[in-house]
Amino acid sequence: MHQLWTQIFEPGFFSSAPVHTAAAVGAAVAVVSAVTGVFTVMRGQSFGGHALGDVSAAGGSGALLIGLTPVVGFVGLGIIGAGVMDMIGVRRVRGRDLATGIVLGAAIGLSALFLYLDTTAGATTGATQQILFGSIFTTAGGTIPAVAIFGAIALACVAVTWRPLLLSTVSTDMAAARGVPVRLVGLLYMLALALSVGLSSVAVGAILSTALLIGPAATALRLTRTVGWAVAAACLIGVGATWLGILLAYDSYYWGSAHLGLPVSFFIVAVVFAAYLLSGLPAARTAAGRRGASTSLAAAPADEQIRA
């Protein structure tokens, strides 16, 4: 029994300080990401959520360049980017995705410039890799208060606008007819998204930022149609995947003879991805039963549908 325990929880896991930090930061990020993520998936703004991660990263490398703490850059440029996307975006989904893409392209161009200036002026080799593949285990201690504060603000934004946001997500026309300030609510949502993505990018890296935003939320929305339950489920799945990923990453150093281990972002994403695939199994079984009657029209998603 003891051997099984040490097989699963390799020695030193529960007493390791980096693991504690990673678990705390990861859980906080997972919860904030899950809440904003549910609305992101419902509003069909997964691209925006991902794009803001790259925009934030540009802000991070820019902040490094002028000597500010990266958090300021991540959140600052994220908010500016979200504002610009909202301003030039149009209501039609395709136009909005184009606007997102343009802002993203400009931000990545800035990233290229900042990283180039960083590496020629400073000594940050591997900055490129760090920005793209940043790791939860290398989270600086100073980011924890920032994660807590900005995370709380993002959650507050969503809580305050819950009903109008939900209404304008389901149908912008009905919301407008009921007097909901649709554009203002949309802008507040984008700000919450920018905060959430900014802090998750700096805390856990660009890959996990998108994965924790979209994955658990999409899985939860497949399991339930009620938004409240979806948010709760997404939080559970997100935190569970994060902690399981941390555990697997810690254990992976004991696998094989090379003792190199695999990055924690790989494990967390793998768990999130697996959870999403598993949640699709019940639907796949019913679809197989109805295979003769299915049409390709049914498989094409409409812009307005809420479907994960």
Partner 1 sequence: MFAGFMMNTWAVATIVAPVAGVVGFFVVLRGSAFPAHAIPKGAFAGAAGASLLGISTLAGLAVFSLLGALGIGALGRRSRHDVATALALVMMLALGAAFLSRTTEYEPEIYSLLFGEVLGVSTTELLPVAALGAVCIAAVIILYRPLMLSSVVPEIADAKGIGSHRMEICFLIVVALATAMTVPVVGALLIFSLMIGPPAAARSLTSRPALAMLLSVAIALLTVWAAIAASYTWNWPVGFFVGALGALSYGAGRAWAAWRHTRTTTPAAPAAPQRLAAAVDRT
SS3 readout for 200-251? HHHHHHHHHHHHHHHHHHHHHHHHCCCHHHHHHHHHHHHHHHHHHHHHHHHH
Q: How far is the CB of 4 from partner 1 (least distance, A)?
A: 26
Cβ atoms of residues 236 and 36 within 8 Å:
no
Residue with tokens 């995705």: 97
Q: Which of 72, 97, 153, 251 binds partner 1 (CB under 8 A)?
A: 97
Q: Which of 26, 44, 59, 198 binds partner 1 (CB under 8 A)?
A: 44
Nearer to partner 1, 227 or 272 (CB): 272
* Sign for the pseudo-dihedral over CA of 34, 38, 41, 43: negative
For residue 166, state whether it binds partner 1 (rule: CB under 8 A): no
Would you give the binding string for partner 1 spanning residues 69-88, x where CB under 8 A is met?
Answer: -------------------x
Q: Which of 38, 50, 71, 246 binds partner 1 (CB under 8 A)?
A: 50
Q: Which of 21, 72, 133, 223 binds partner 1 (CB under 8 A)?
A: 133
Q: Return d(Cα 148, Cα 199) in angstroms, integer.
A: 9
- The interface region with partner 1, picked from 152-160, 187-195, 236-244, 291-299 by CB under 8 A, is 291-299
Nearer to partner 1, 117 or 149 (CB): 117
Question: Counting every residue, how long is the chain?
Answer: 308
Does an H or E element contain 65, and which? helix 46-65
Cβ atoms of residues 66 and 267 within 8 Å:
no
Residue with tokens 């390791």: 16
* Sign for the pseudo-dihedral over CA of 238, 240, 243, 245: negative
Residue with tokens 């809580």: 159
- The interface region with partner 1, picked from 28-36, 64-72, 233-241, 255-263 by CB under 8 A, is 255-263
For residue 1, state whether it binds partner 1 (rule: CB under 8 A): no
For residue 126, state whether it binds partner 1 (rule: CB under 8 A): yes
Cβ atoms of residues 40 and 193 within 8 Å:
yes
Nearer to partner 1, 105 or 228 (CB): 105
Quickly list H helices, 122-226.
Answer: 127-133, 143-160, 162-170, 172-177, 182-223
Q: How far is the CB of 229 from partner 1 (least distance, A)?
A: 19
Q: Return d(Cα 296, Cα 288) in angstroms, integer.
A: 14
For residue 61, state whether it binds partner 1 (rule: CB under 8 A): no
For residue 296, state whether it binds partner 1 (rule: CB under 8 A): yes
Q: How far is the CB of 51 from partner 1 (least distance, A)?
A: 8
For residue 283, state whether it binds partner 1 (rule: CB under 8 A): yes
Q: 157: which 2 tokens?
A: 């934004």
User: For 63, left (φ over 0), alpha (ψ -120 to 50), or beta?
Assistant: alpha
For residue 301, state whether it binds partner 1 (rule: CB under 8 A): yes
Site for partner 1 in 186-245 (CB under 8 A): 206-208, 210-211, 214-215, 218
Q: Which of 24, 80, 93, 166 binds partner 1 (CB under 8 A)?
A: 93
- The interface region with partner 1, picked from 26-34, 74-82, 113-121, 160-168 by CB under 8 A, is 113-121
Q: Which of 41, 82, 136, 204 binds partner 1 (CB under 8 A)?
A: 41
Q: How far is the CB of 114 from partner 1 (least distance, A)?
A: 9
